[in-house]
Amino acid sequence: MDNHYDVIVVGAGNAGLVAAATTAKSGLKTLLLEKHNLPGGSASSFVRGRFEFEPSLHELAGVGTKEKPGNIYQIFDELGAKIDWRYEYNTFRTIAKGVDGYDVKLPAGIDAFCTEMEKAVPGCEKQVRALFALAKKVDDAIAYITKMKGKPNPLVMITKHGDFMRVASHSVEQVMDALGLSEKARDILCTYWGYLGVPTDEVNCMHYLAMLNSFVVNGAAMPYKRSHEMSLALVKVINDNGGEVWFNSEVTRFLYDENGAAIGVEAAGKKLYAKEIISNIIPHNVFNRSDADKIPQRDLKLANARKFGISVLTVYLGLDCTMEELGIKDYTVFVTTTGNTRKQYNDRLEGSMYIVNCLNDVIPDCTPKGTCSMFFTMPLFGSDIPKELKPEQYKKYKNDLALRYLRDYEDLTGMSIVPHIEEISVATPVTFARYLGTPEGTIYGYMNSGWDNMLARISSEKEDYTIPNLTFCGGHSARSIGYSSTYNSGKIVGDRIVRKLKGGN
Ligand SMILES: Cc1cc2nc3c(=O)[nH]c(=O)nc-3n(C[C@H](O)[C@H](O)[C@H](O)COP(=O)(O)OP(=O)(O)OC[C@H]3O[C@@H](n4cnc5c(N)ncnc54)[C@H](O)[C@@H]3O)c2cc1C
């Protein structure tokens, strides 16, 4: 009987780890299966020479401090996962090139942020404050919906959260227009669009405001030892509470009973059974690992109707000089050719938007003495990679792209980066497809736009996923992408399964 569990979680990404830690901590017999030899999915680290790189995390929202804990701090704290948090109290520096361009650095904290916005765009402060007042209402409504476990009272929503309902059915641009924000103020406020991967004339305002507010209110946090520290801390919670984590254990098949209910999986050459299966892997990959007749037509149609989210090209640099020697003064810099996010998105192959991070600005000793690291990121779909590209041409293709961004940043800032490269690693959607196993290398699950937005996903979760005893968590699911969203997703799903199997609240 030892191949029978209460819960099997497939995939040790952020959401899978928190879901498994939650069920294990509640006393449920839990098994977490991960195809790689280490946990985390995107939340990991890798070593080149004397550098340990952060592969994905630019900024983690919603952490806060012990005195003023945010939602993520609480999740880790309640689970007993100890993290050495480090903080960044600037939101971003954003540079738009060109004659009408700007170079603005904005601090965290609503008052400080609004004051700097007023300096950058005189006359905008009142509207920016109105935007944050709206963001607060969005936060309150999300807190209410979460408290009601996704089943809010429609009367309460209409009477108490009317502004939320209006915001949630409009794009960011529509709401900013309604508030009378000028184009320049809007462009600056929309800088974070890349973190959701959808331009602001398309992305749901509720989603964007929740993210913007979270970064501005609390600032961002980073774990001292890369995101690998968070993933390892969660594995420890699972193990300490009697759960099992099997690495090098790819799930190759999902198993169902004659009524179509999920009953187990195949991994590591074994059939493993559980009362509940939680999938941290995208529905496409679950369905491809299931007998076709077990997948309800509606679930299949939904998966096929969705668009895959964006991916990225990333360049990780280990440099043989300090950040001071290079002249770096910021942790996060967004560089664009135009403030308009739709143009940035459309012209992504022309280098219209990229992000540059230097972790040493937040964690000075994250690299050996006398060195520093840089991390370049730009939006790129898997389908942007030329179909005719031959395997032997791939290395040159990605290195040429990487060099173009490095040269562009050197020209823009006057820094001399390339001569100081000691280690370099370049990842593309191909890398993410291989490592995460996602279709087209999406790092953001399904694209969060149009009918497939976060609110629609949360409110129709029951109709969208109908296979009994199979629940999805992670960036592709209801709470959508990003570190905080996926940790939240794991917690919500883990709690739901605990209630289902053990009863109570
Ligand atoms: C370059 C990059 C930069 C990013 N920057 C940020 C940022 O600054 N801030 C932010 O909030 N978010 C950022 N993100 C997004 C964030 O990392 C993701 O949204 C989040 O980590 C996804 O978590 P997840 O739970 O969906 O799992 P994933 O990370 O997708 O992990 C899924 C896990 O399942 C495993 N798996 C897959 N198939 C199988 C199988 N068949 N059997 C067993 N295991 C399997 C995979 O190996 C993986 O470990 C970034 C992502 C990337 C790649």
Band the pLDDT of 251: cuts 50, 70, 90. Answer: very high
Check pocket membership of 10 for ligand 1, CB cut-off 6 A: yes
Say yes or no to pLDDT of 72 above 90. Answer: yes
Ligand 1 atom nearest residue 476's Cα: 26
**Whether 205 and 240 share a structural domain:** no
Residue 441 lies in a domain: no
Q: How far is the CA of 38 from the centre of ligand 1 (A)?
A: 13
Residue ranges making up the domain that contains 265: 4-84+224-307+447-502
pTM reported for the whole predicted model: 0.96
Indicate which residue's Cα is closest to atom 27 of ligand 1: 13
Indicate which residue's Cα is closest to atom 49 of ligand 1: 41
Band the pLDDT of 99: cuts 50, 70, 90. Answer: confident
CA distance linking residue 74 with residue 57, whole number of Å: 19
**Whether 124 and 205 share a structural domain:** yes
Choosing from 160, 182, 213, the residue where a domain stops is 213
Choosing from 191, 213, 235, the residue where a domain stops is 213
Say yes or no to pLDDT of 1 above 60. Answer: no
Residue 315 lies in a domain: no
Residue 136 lies in a domain: yes
pLDDT in tens, 407-444: 999 999 999 999 999 999 999 999 999 999 999 999 99
**398 Cβ partners below 8 Å, 6+ apart?**
313, 426, 428
What proportions of the chain, in percent to the nearest 5, are helix, strand and coil?
45, 20, 35
Residue 158 lies in a domain: yes
Output the pLDDT for position 147. Answer: 79
Please classify residue 388 by burial: count the beta carbons closer than 10 Å to its beta carbon, then call 0-12 exposed, 13-18 middle and 19+ buried. exposed
- How many structural domains does the chain have? 2
**Whether 245 and 193 share a structural domain:** no
Residue 163 lies in a domain: yes
Which structure tokens are listed for 207? 């989603």
- Domain with residue 478: its CATH number is 3.50.50.60
- What is the best residue among 282, 310, 443 to mutate for testing ligand 1's pocket, by most ligand atoms within 8 Å of CB? 443
Check pocket membership of 11 for ligand 1, CB cut-off 6 A: yes
Residue 138 lies in a domain: yes
Choosing from 213, 247, 281, the residue where a domain stops is 213
Contact, 313 vs 382, CB < 8 A? Answer: no
**Whether 198 and 232 share a structural domain:** no
Residue 372 lies in a domain: no
Ligand 1 atom nearest residue 489's Cα: 25
Q: How far is the CA of 14 from the centre of ligand 1 (A)?
A: 7
Nearest-5° angle of CA 308, CA 313, CA 319? Answer: 155
**Whether 235 and 186 share a structural domain:** no
**Whether 190 and 135 share a structural domain:** yes
Residue 24 lies in a domain: yes
More confident residue, 60 or 479: 60
pLDDT in tens, 275-296: 999 999 999 999 999 999 999 9
